[in-house]
Amino acid sequence: KVQDVSVFGVPDSKYGEELCAWVRLKPGAAADEDELKAWCRDRIAHYKVPRHVRFVDEFPMTVTGKIQKFVMRERMSTELGIGEQRSA
């Protein structure tokens, strides 16, 4: 179902950072946030399960083809209504 995933941290007032996953699904596939979190909970440690999951058609990329995680982090911070906090 999943074609590609990019995971990054977003600011959190309680923990400093929380995980966020941007997910690209395979063409014609369908999934929801709860399904992906349940899949993760069965396979990885609880603290590694992303708190936020967003489905996207494409990731912001540089001209050399690298994912721009800082752009994704800024967009999620705006969407979640949280200010940029610096972690240690």
Examine residue 29 and state whether it is found in any structural domain, yes or no.
yes
> What is the per-residue pLDDT across 27-80, written as a single tens digit (0 to 9) for each?
999 999 999 999 999 999 999 999 999 999 999 999 999 999 999 999 999 999
Domain count, the chain: 1
The residues with which 8 forms a beta bridge, in sequence order, are 20
Angstrom distance (rounded) from CA 63 to CA 61: 7
Based on the number of CB atoms within 10 Å of its own CB, is 40 exposed (0-12), middle (13-18) or buried (19 or more)? Answer: middle
pLDDT tier at 26, thresholds 50, 70, 90: very high
Q: Looking at this protein, which amino acid is placed at residue 54? A: R
Q: Is the pLDDT confidence value at 87 over 80? A: no
CATH code of residue 60: 3.30.300.30
First to last CA, the chain: 35
Examine residue 85 and state whether it is found in any structural domain, yes or no.
no
Examine residue 13 and state whether it is found in any structural domain, yes or no.
yes
CA angle (67 as vertex; 79, 26 as ends), nearest 5: 80
| Residue range 10-18: mean pLDDT, rounded | 91
pLDDT for 25 equals 98
Where in the sequence is the domain holding 76, given as residue range(s)?
Answer: 2-80
Examine residue 88 and state whether it is found in any structural domain, yes or no.
no
